[in-house]
A and B are shown apart, each in its own frame.
Chain A
Amino acid sequence: MAVDVDVVDLWATDLAYRVESAQLLRGVSVAIRSGRVTGVLGPNGSGKSTLLRLIVGALPPSAGVLRLGATDLARMSRRDRARRVAFVEQESQAEVPLRVRDVVLLGRIPHRPAFSTDSARDLALVEESLERAGATSLADRDFATLSGGERQRVHIARALAQTPHLLLLDEPTNHLDVAAQLDVLSLVAQVAAAGTGVLMAIHDLAHAAQACDDVVVLDHGTVAAAGPPREVLTPELVASVYGVHAEWVHGVTGSALVFSPLPGP
């Protein structure tokens, strides 16, 4: 089998996270492959955000191994990790006025020594990232004045400026209107097409089916199913994980899941 040397995949094996007596994640194994979008699905409280935070290093795993290519992430310094793994949170806002370009420049922090000003490379990468995220026209705006969809674009541009191997996104379409949702998902697809591995927590199952190459469905902190979305998201699985009846409806431009309550006992 041919191995592409540029490909850096992340393998999470048997991840667990417990806080006090609550076991939030148990025995979760996930692969994030270069150039592919992997979706993390599951009801509220199933452990999606926890999984993302373990991978980004914001929470320490209670057990399990995170391997990026041949390297154990736990042995890597925070800065080295931040050069390889970028994270876009759900709706994050600043308390102080910030220009969009300054937000994107934050992505260069892990690459920059203390006391230094922006290098030519930093500035060039910021422009390139704004361009890739379709946010160039926003560059001189105040971040607080942007719409939700524009903010997500800017956060993704900031993550791209980090030049990561992996991009993690926590429900990036949350609270966005439909057009902005599709917009963000197509941007995520472009990022993956350029070779970055993407792991995205997402609520909307139909969007997940369209936007993800693979999905991992979490249920009470464990993996209920994993694989290509159309194979995984069966009415049986949806009924067992979400407790609702689901049916695929096929239209001209795509397919959607339609939900109804499960028939009573």
Chain B
Amino acid sequence: MTGAEKGARALAVWLPAGVVVLLVSLVVTLTIGPAAITPGEIMGSLWHHLTTWAHDIGIGGEPPSNPLTRIRDAIVWQGRAPRLLTAASVGAGLALSGAVMQAITRNPLADPYLLGVSSGAALGAVAVLLLGVAIALPIAAFAGALVALGATLALAGVDGRLTPGRTILAGIAVAQACSALVSFAIFSTSRGDSYREIISWLMGSLGGATWGSVAIAGLAVVIIGGVLLGSGRTLDAFVFGDVSATSLGVNVTAARWVLLTLTALLTGALVSVSGSIGFVGLVLPHVVRMLVGSRHLGLLPLAAVGGAIFLIWADTGARTVFDPMEVPVGILTAAIGAPVFAWLLLRNRSAA
């Protein structure tokens, strides 16, 4: 078996396996929680809702009855389901964004928040939660993310070129400025509940997820993520640097502008529903590289699936482990991600 076949086989095995694990995880985690509900009841209830919907638009006969009572049905379909699907979308999008960021900046430490997007979003969230600006939280957060992205790109690309080093430094400058404003707003205004709410948002939480969150995060992942999945060939070309990428036919500056912007828009949409959940975008791409290698054709889809699985389980842990108290999922992802990252670091040191 040649190496290329090995790579292709790794993808052919890992991707379907990942999708199966993802689907099973979705069903299993739907059953986890204070109200005991079995997978059978969930499948039965799903079938009831699907056939009812089909019947309503004139397809099929009388739907079977719902195995779940109204309250238990609401716990599953209004509580857990949107939250899980949001977790899956956010996890997939963050891991995908992280993989793309690491490739275009050629920096293994890059993560989706590199351009200051999360700090900008935090500023938007603070404006709503603490300063009482009367717009919906996700919209304010996304607007904040856009402002931060614009500032970073303007700062990094003054002369039209967008070098990785300058991009990273510009991102840090914008993030620090936003963080200072956020901290000041919290320090000077928040009391009790609003303090708790903003801290939970800053650490990243899926506690407030609704079907609206699913729509925002899911659509962003499907549309922008779909475009990013098609950029594998271009990202591969960056592996030995800009000149090498040019000699392989890539318009380096244009590719970097487009991909950085798309990644930041995707991240902005995700952060707007979940706050900034750390470590998923940083660590997942490294773990997946160990499994299938660094070629993006396999890395990107598998990172997305892996990120979805990881965040589904992390969020399930966040809402159940300290029951009845719920911890922000960002605390859990950092608690898991930091040791994994340290391990990767030590492992790479021995390889180099």
Contact = CB atoms under 8 A, between A and B. Distances in A.
B352 interface: yes
A89 B243 contact: yes
A97 B293 contact: yes
Contacts of B239: 94-96, 98, 106
A95 B108 contact: yes
Interface stretch (B52-60, B87-95, B122-130, B230-238): B230-238
A189 to B, nearest CB: 22
Interface residues of A, number: 45
Contacts of A195: none
B125 to A, nearest CB: 33
Interface string B89-131: 0000000000000100011100000000000000000000000
A144 to B, nearest CB: 7
Nearest to A53: B243
A81 interface: yes
Contacts of B293: 97-99, 102
B44 interface: no
Most buried by B among A81, A96, A97, A144: A96
Contact of B247 (A86, A99, A105, A115): A86
Interface residues of B, number: 36
A102 B294 contact: yes
Contacts of A102: 3-4, 7, 293-295
A236 interface: no
Contacts of B244: 87, 89, 92
Contact of B248 (A97, A106, A117): A106
A114 interface: yes
B351 interface: yes
A81 B251 CA distance: 12
A17 to B, nearest CB: 15
A69 to B, nearest CB: 19
Given A92-B240, A109-B249, A115-B230, 15 more contacts: A58-B246, A78-B250, A80-B249, A82-B249, A98-B239, A101-B3, A102-B7, A109-B233, A109-B236, A110-B248, A114-B230, A114-B232, A127-B2, A139-B3, A145-B351
Interface of B: 2-4, 6-8, 102, 106-108, 230-233, 236-237, 239-244, 246-251, 289-290, 293-295, 297, 351-352
23 contacts: A53-B243, A56-B243, A56-B247, A57-B246, A77-B249, A78-B250, A85-B247, A87-B243, A92-B240, A93-B240, A94-B240, A95-B106, A96-B102, A96-B289, A99-B293, A105-B295, A106-B248, A107-B248, A109-B233, A114-B230, A114-B232, A115-B230, A142-B351
